[in-house]
Structure 1
Amino acid sequence: MWIAKNITKRNQAKSNCINAAISSANNSEITAVGRDGVSHLTIAAPSGISFSPKIDENAVVLKTESGDVCVGTIMDRVNPNDCPLPGELFLSNKNGTATIKLMADGKIEICGDVTINGKSV
C-alpha cells in the first residue's frame, strides 16, 4: 500500500495537465482560471475541427514549453441520448438546439434548421 501511494504521488507531481474554467473566449484569445492562475490558451483540436469553449466550461489545459493549450473540455451530458456509441461522433451548438450525429451504421442524424449552399432545406 505504501509503495502504491508513493508512486501515485510522484506521478501526480509530474502531471502537466490541469483543469481550468474558461473565463473569456473570442476569436483571438481564450483565457481560463485554474490552480496556477490565469492561462492564455491556444486551442488544439483534430484536423478540420474548430471550436471555442463556452464561458464557465471546464477545459483540459496542457502545459507545454511554448504555452498553455486547451485540448478539450469536460463533457457535461444532460441527455443520455446525446452520448455517442463507439465509432460515433456527436456535435452540438452552445445550447444544444442544433445537433449532428454521425452514427456507426453510416446514418447521419441532423436536428435543427438546415441550410445547404445558402438555401434552407
Structure 2
Amino acid sequence: MAVDSAVRAPEVEIDGVLLERARKEGKAIVLYPTLKFSCLIAKRFKAELRESVEDYDVKKSIGGVPVFIKFRAVGSRFCGGDRGFEEVDFPVLEPERFMPRWIRVYSDLSGEFGYK
C-alpha cells in the first residue's frame, strides 16, 4: 500500500466490490471524514468516485486504486433552534492531530471512521 503524504495516513479498509467498481471505471476513491464542532462534536463521512482530484491531505493506493483523503473540520455558528446549523470551515493548523486512525468504506460508498 503506497502512501504519498506529509500527514499521518490512517488505516483504510475498502470493500472489495467498491475497489473493483473503481478499477473498472478508472476512477479514484475520495474519502471525506469530517468533524463538526457545535454544541456537541459529530462525525460525518462521505465517499465518492472521481476521475480527478486536486485537493487532498493523504494519497494512498489500495489494490491498485488511488485513494485520496480530505479531512475537514467545520463549526456551527449556532446550536440549532430557530437559527439552524449554519456551517463554517474550522481552520485546522495541525491536520495530523485530527486525522482519523482508521477509515472503513462499504460498497455503497457509506463508511465510518474512528480514533482508537
Q: TM-score, normalised by structure 1?
A: 0.26
Relative contact order (alpha carbons < 8 A, sep ≥ 6): 1 or 2 greater?
2
Bigger CA radius of gyration:
1
